Amino acid sequence: MNAIIPNSLQSAALRTSYLDIENVWKAYGNFVALRDISLSIQQGEFICFLGPSGCGKTTLLRAIAGLDPQSRGSIRQAGRDISNLPASQRDYGIVFQSYALFPNLTVAANIAFGLENTGRPWDEIKSRVKELLELVGLPDKALSYPSQLSGGQQQRIALARAIAINPGLLLLDEPLSALDAKVRVHLRHEIKELQRKLQVTTIMVTHDQEEALAMADRIVVMNHGVIEQVGTPIDVYRHPASLFVANFIGETNRIKAHFSRGIVTIGRTLLETTVTGFADEADVTVAVRPEDILPHARGHEQLAQPNHLPVTITAMEFLGSFWRVHLRSTELGGTPLVANFSMNAVRRFSLAEGEDLTVELPADRVLVFPAAR
Amino acid sequence: MAVTEWIPSGRETRLRMDGDGLIKRGFMLVIALYLIVTLALPLYTMLSKSFVTYSFDLSEFELQVSDASGANFGPAVSLVDLNTRSGRFTPQDMKTNSDGRMAVAELLPDFSFRSPVRYRMRAVDDRGTWLVGLDRVSSRDWLEYDSNTLRRITLRPVPSYGIQNYVSYFSNPALFQSIWNSLFIAVVSTALTVPFAFGFAYALHRSCMPFKGAMKLIATMPILVPSLLPGIALIYLFGNQGLLKDLLMGQSIYGPLGIVIGSVFFTFPHALIIISTALAIADQRHYEAAESLRASRWRTFWTVTVPGARYGLISAMFVTFTLVVTDFGLPKVIGGQFSVLAIDIYKQVIGQQNFEMGAVVSVVLLVPAILAFFVDRQVQKKQVSLLSARAVPFEPKPNRRFDALCLAWCGLIAAFILTMMGVCQLAAVVKFWPYDMSLTLGNFAFNKMDGGGWTAYWNSIWLSALTAVAGTAIVFCGAYMVEKTDGFRLGRSLFQFLAMLPMAIPGMVLGLAYIFFFNNPDNPLHGLYGTMAILVISTVTHFYTVGHLTALTALKQIDAEFEPVAASMRQPFYRLFARVTVPICLPSILDIMIYLFVNAMTTVSAMVFLYSTHTALASIAVLNMDDAGDIAPAAAMGMMIFYTNVAARLLHALVSRRLLASTQAWRTR
């Protein structure tokens, strides 16, 4: 598993933390948008704030940027307390969803905007603009106006403008949301590359879990103004800390179950799991991802083994590289189950709609949470 | 769930103020101060004046009269007793205005200024003051005067506060009648103008009639002339020597008839612009839906068009109503004996020097104006929400009969406007209408007439240019600070209120308020009185709101993230303002400029109280020449204003196009 984790993270423990958010609250009148948020971000990390709209991720970003100060709590950047500093005295570059490029200035003038008026000689500004344009792959657009560029190109210019002054922190507020799907995938790769090259600490706000999984070193999953989980993409996907996280990141089947004397039961099926720590006789919810459900054998087995569930295939959808199979089981009552089966598995078991099947819910892939209300 | 949620106690985090924040707040404070000094304080002064009554208080003074030798003084007598004895003044005579004076000698029946009798006078308390000539005297000790000096002693009235002025206003049938007269002409004019304008706007937006551009140009012509001008045109057409006098069948044009026709003329473009805007936002899809449901044209009109434009219609009604009810020029020129509120203010102040009663009429005039203003604001707010970004603009399809009908309707209205303008133009260049119609430029020899001559014209140009430049700068900066400052919410909404207020204040009221405020010798700004500066200030303030709203609309369209981006680059806001905000808003800035210029050229109402002999204005000259019977020169001066405004409009169009071409290249893809 270590091989997959970026190197930058393995050495994270050795580095000092760059941005420290401590007990931050934000209230708008009676509405509490952030409750007791604490978070440490390492130098050079790429962090994603992920969550549904209204979860507080943008509020947190704006507090870090000094645009909408937090109500309580403190924020430290590079050892400096910035809690009370106005935006102009903090050290960051920012890219908004709207790009916010100055429409009446050329691309070059947009990028140069933050460099001028700082005592830099003109030659230096010029070569810096050129360098940045090359960095974002648009060296020939210097004299164009923003409206003459495509959305993706505009976003790259906004990025170049944000990093022009070498900020210590790069803030990206849903930078890809306004783009179409193809451009989005392409650009997220580029942004990640750029960030790796510059080693600039980056925080990106997004509601797109795929984006977060693909780009982030660590993901901060938020909901209702609290942090649900902080972890690497693999962490939050494999070991979601809550049912919300399991649901929000990737897909998951939710099954009502019962926990009694260390054993989980679904209907009459016993489930071996790796979890402990529930009160005896508690209702629980079992979560299992579609790709983790394994086809075990055709037909229903007579002798029920732990973790094996008799099901019937109600529908099958062909999704190119795999099949999405809808299952129903008497053990589950009315709740349907969704599984992703590989092409090979479907062929091996000659699966078809209406067939009976026994599936396995592997013990190390089954997650158990307190019952969803 | 309106449950107050728990959050830890402690102080709300506040960002330290940076340079930008300080400068922005400072700027806003300065402009707010400007509005307070030039609007709120004068209005407050006027309002308080309307509650002041002045009367002579004789009980404050005592007099001793000597015998013929001038040495032996009789007993001290109160002036009240003296008056009772002589019966000289009735209680009614005790009421006066702030400028009233009472000669003490009048109280002594056998007074002669040549007699050797001497007098002693004193006040019974510290409030009592009297004038010896122009010198103010206040003394509780006896002061001795000879009879020649006593002749020059006058008493000043003392103010008291209450609703006495209002009581006498409402119990004066002549003044009270003016309220009904004002409402009557305003309602009738509105009832005519709005349907005319709606028809015109409907034809422009919903038909394929030819000459739309020309029609639009003609329809906006009345904006470019003072409201007096249609009055003058009507005099030439229907007055005592009018060409078409017989058409009226014995009715007189001097009175409500003339005012209503003239009001329709000068309010038409205002109503048209508002209704046009409302019709322009129509969504093609609604009409397609109606068509697919097989609704008739008539039914579609009543179920789609009219409801869609309803806010525009209501707004146009209130704007027209307010314009008519507060207009001063037209009733002055063609009102005859028909008195309206605006005229009453003028008469009370200029004619009778009764400033307090003028203030009362002003307050009365404020009531409908403010009511209309608030209703209009509510309606405008709703109008905005009707706009949807995804609306498909309506495109009319040709229909020969309907287009011909539209052309006829617009043609009639255009003919009306052109006739009025044409008559003035003709009157300005003929020798003696209607007897000697040979052409002359003699009417333009303004220096030979009363009213200020050509100096007045150049003053107007100067005033308009100053108003356009200074006003635009103030208005735009103010709007920027309101729109682009974060936090400081109370201050911002207060500022917003101040900026909206001028729209509700009629010009006459503003002018009178300025007299009260700036003509007070105790006011440190007293020096402004009678200068060009006060004319510029009052004009900027009078027309502040429309410019403010134009600027706000433009600023709201700018991405709100520009300021955060600039701040993150540690650039001061004024750099962003100069390099991005102003260039982007340039078209709107030019629009505010031309609006202020044109209005400064044509406005009469506030100016009539504020101009001095050195600062006579073209529009005032029209009024005064008309008053003096020089109607042809008045028409000529009116046309000069028209030519100037046309030239200004052309210049505006030219500059806009040039600037757009050179600085707004980014707008084209």
What percent of chain B clears pLDDT 90, i.e. is strictly above it? 42
Q: How far is CA B235 from CA B259, B366, B417, B424, B639, in A?
A: 11, 30, 15, 10, 16
Q: Supply the angle between the helices B400-429 and B212-220 in degrees, to the nearest 10.
A: 40
- Among positive and negative, which fits the CA dihedral A91, A96, A99, A100? negative
B129 or A44, which is more confident: A44
B382 or B96, which is more confident: B96
Whether residue B568 and residue A162 make contact (CB cut-off 8 A), yes or no, is: yes
B3 close contact with A: CB closer than 8 A: yes
Contacts with A, B 560-589, CB within 8 Å: 561-562, 564-572, 575, 579-580, 583-584
Residue ranges and CATH numbers for the domains of chain B are 53-161 (no CATH), 173-389+398-434 (1.10.3720.10), 446-667 (1.10.3720.10)
**pLDDT for B157:** 85
For A15-69, the pLDDT digits (tens) are: 578 999 999 999 988 889 999 999 999 999 999 999 999 899 999 999 999 998 9
Q: Where are the beta strands (DSSP E) in B283-394?
A: none
pLDDT of residue B421 exceeding 90: yes
What percent of chain B clears pLDDT 70, i.e. is strictly above it? 96
pLDDT of residue A136 exceeding 70: yes
Contact indicator for B194, B316 with CB cutoff of 8 Å: yes
- Report the distance separating Cα A361 and Cα A369, nearest Å: 16
CATH topology for the A251-297+304-370 domain: OB fold (Dihydrolipoamide Acetyltransferase, E2P) (2.40.50)
Which of A31, A71, A88 is opposite residue B18, by nearest beta carbon? A88
Contact indicator for B186, B369 with CB cutoff of 8 Å: no
B361 or B665, which is more confident: B361
Whether residue A146 and residue B666 make contact (CB cut-off 8 A), yes or no, is: yes
Specify whether the backbone of B488 is left (phi greater than 0), alpha (psi in -120 to 50) or beta. Answer: left
For A305-343, the pLDDT digits (tens) are: 788 888 999 999 999 889 999 999 888 877 889 999 999
| Angle subtended at Cα A154 by Cα A150 and Cα A156, rounded to the nearest 5 degrees | 120
Q: What is the mean pLDDT of residues B414-435?
A: 90
| Angle subtended at Cα A325 by Cα A323 and Cα A331, rounded to the nearest 5 degrees | 155
Q: Which amino acid is at B557?
A: Q
Average pLDDT taken over every residue of chain B:
87
String of DSSP letters for A169-205: EEEEESTTTTS-HHHHHHHHHHHHHHHHHHT-EEEEE
**pLDDT for B309:** 81
String of DSSP letters for B344-361: HHHIIIIIT--HHHHHHH
What is the location of CATH 2.40.50.100 in chain A?
A: 251-297+304-370
CA-nearest residue to B566 within chain A is: A114
Residue B432's DSSP bridge partners are B436
For A104-120, the pLDDT digits (tens) are: 899 999 999 999 888 88
Number of neighbouring beta carbons within 10 Å of residue A72: 21
For A84-104, the pLDDT digits (tens) are: 999 989 999 999 988 899 988
Q: What is the mean pLDDT of residues B512-538?
A: 91
pLDDT of residue B223 exceeding 80: yes
pLDDT of residue A81 exceeding 70: yes
Specify whether the backbone of B55 is left (phi greater than 0), alpha (psi in -120 to 50) or beta. Answer: beta
Best of A22, A77, A101, A104 to disrupt the B interface (most B CBs within 10 Å) is: A104
What is the location of CATH 3.40.50.300 in chain A?
A: 7-92+167-247
What is the band of B665 on the pLDDT scale with cuts at 50, 70, 90? Answer: low
For A298-313, the pLDDT digits (tens) are: 888 766 678 888 899 9
- Report the distance separating Cα B628 and Cα B617, nearest Å: 16
The alpha carbon of residue A194 is apart from the nearest alpha carbon of chain B, in Å, by 20
**pLDDT for B390:** 52
B85: CB partners within 8 A, 6+ apart: none
- If DSSP codes are grouped into helix, strand and coil, which group holds residue A126? helix
CA-nearest residue to B14 within chain A is: A84
String of DSSP letters for B440-474: -SGGG-GGGSSS-HHHHHHHHHHHHHHHHHHHHHH
Type and span of the H or E element at A221? strand A218-223
Whose structure tokens read 């002999």? B613
Whether residue B14 and residue A83 make contact (CB cut-off 8 A), yes or no, is: no
Tokens matching residue B214: 């020309």
Residue A254's DSSP bridge partners are A287
**pLDDT for B199:** 94
pLDDT of residue B146 exceeding 60: yes
In this prediction, does ipTM exceed 0.90?
no
Residue closest to B417 by CA, chosen among B269, B627, B608: B269
> What is the C-alpha radius of gyration for chain B, rounded to an integer number of angstroms?
30
- Chain A hits for B664, CB-CB cut-off 8 Å, are 104
Helix intervals (H) in B95-172: 147-150, 164-170
Q: How many residue pairs bridge chain A and chain B with CB atoms within 8 Å of each other? A: 120
The alpha carbon of residue A11 is apart from the nearest alpha carbon of chain B, in Å, by 30
- Chain B hits for A105, CB-CB cut-off 8 Å, are 579-580, 666
| A46-50 and A201-206 strand pairing | parallel
Number of neighbouring beta carbons within 10 Å of residue B369: 20
CATH topology for the A7-92+167-247 domain: Rossmann fold (3.40.50)
Q: What is the mean pLDDT of residues B31-37?
A: 91
The model's pTM is: 0.84
Whether residue A30 and residue B18 make contact (CB cut-off 8 A), yes or no, is: no
Q: What is the mean pLDDT of residues B450-468?
A: 92
